[in-house]
Structure 1
């Protein structure tokens, strides 16, 4: 009791807790969306949109090949021939079978009228005739297939066989390009890069073999599936025509990121992204007036290297990087004097 009275007599209130130390953080400045380097780059090869390997559908000895690399061809033009001896013999045999079956049907029809043969026997003869005609149609088709014709008007890109060779069904003989189709550059891009572009985006393509200004292009198609081995998605860019531009040339494409305005993507250090789910993520910005961390929700579009791609950040904002994982909304923070990120700017 005496001790308690002594404490009470002091009349001293318990001391208040000391204020928490500001959280040390590092920051970078958010750059303007749609800056000049907001492009996706890739290397690809030039090709016509419609290029076809021509082949025979029947086997045989190729007796003639009338075109070579670089030759112009027109639609319907014969370009190669097989020895048709065997096909012609089968067609003659099929024609003879049809003639014999027709005679049998004629004879059976007369006998069936008088009841000399059963009706079913006459119907069997009709079936045999139908089969013979079908076999003749197939033999006729095989005979016509000994001649290879071009399905398009264009140019021969490659030749894979020589006259005198025995060729198999489906074996490529020549490759032709339809010059009425557009010229494309097909660029394999990492899936995270392909996700940043949209059909219709503008592109600039530099061809090492062609001096002068880059070619203008526009994204025509973006693949819907990444290659299982490389993880790349094929992007097709339609190109403006230029003299000397040929299939097989190699070019470097710069494709503009298509999003603009409030939806424009900017890369930020991945460590600044606290969480990401269902296309959205969370970051912390530094409020310069109160020196407090402020939580902000952004649209998240994936990763590019060591950066996260987000939209919804104002240009010039102070983005907290190091220390963001420990910050709370409204918490006082202190920019570390040694933080190299203070002077960094996000591209």
Structure 2
């Protein structure tokens, strides 16, 4: 049987403008868009709320937060995945690239990071196939070059694994996000409970791994990205030279450039610029790097990521709409632009023929309030 839903009297967020109108979805697809505030019988009266494409999240650590809600507390993965999925649906996100680290340090040192990516990816996929998840899940492999096992872990993934993004992650102490060693020490020791001696051993271990294996790991990551048909992303580019290296690798999006100079170089190279919505909402970076607002005011921001606060995605997009005086442009940073950056051509815009991922919200004070979410035409929140 045909399933049809019509949203009426909404501020419909189109790719370039916001118009008052109605949207019809039929069997999971957008089938018509009309202008006017009329509310015919049988339609959903949106009461002037915004109706935008479902939000698309390219980089989030939220699943890991549910898997380890406290230090050294391992939560059952099935429960963590379901809770993560429900939280994202509740804040208007209908497509997520779950960020999973590949590249582990398996020896018994303070730097130890256990191997987990392949098993977790299989768990997510099994739950997706069983219909346990509300929204569309894809994979973002965070390829850590300061590791022992990166090439072999990348080989465990194939074209059927829904890997949409692979990012080059280089957490060598003293560069990129952690140029400030005092901030790096405070972050690592606070997060992992290391003593001063253990922290020093951690720094030595990571630096040694980068010097010995880093270049080979970068080469393996670029090759795996091509094999998987994924988008290659850089992470925490700080200097124009690092951006130039990213461009040579074929990077298409830069996650969280840390300086104005790096963002300007990304623009010159035609690399999309991703910034954290929490950075924008808080008014600055928690690591002391460039503020997202500064990049927005210099037209150097293309995509927002919720990073570690899912609810920040919609709030940040609305905030950008206010900064730019253009709500359609602000919301494009969490809809059309991330769809284009990850080669998802069937969503991210309210256009006929596209997938019916829809988020309804209104703005009350400074807070966007989600009032309904539809994924592939089905209400999920």
TM-score tier after normalising by the smaller chain length: under 0.3
- Higher share of residues assigned helix: 2
Structure 2 length-normalised TM: 0.20
Bigger proportion of residues as strand: 1
TM-score, with normalisation over the residues of structure 1?
0.21
Larger radius of gyration: 1
Query: More relative contact order in 1 or in 2 (CA 8 Å, sep 6+)?
Result: 1
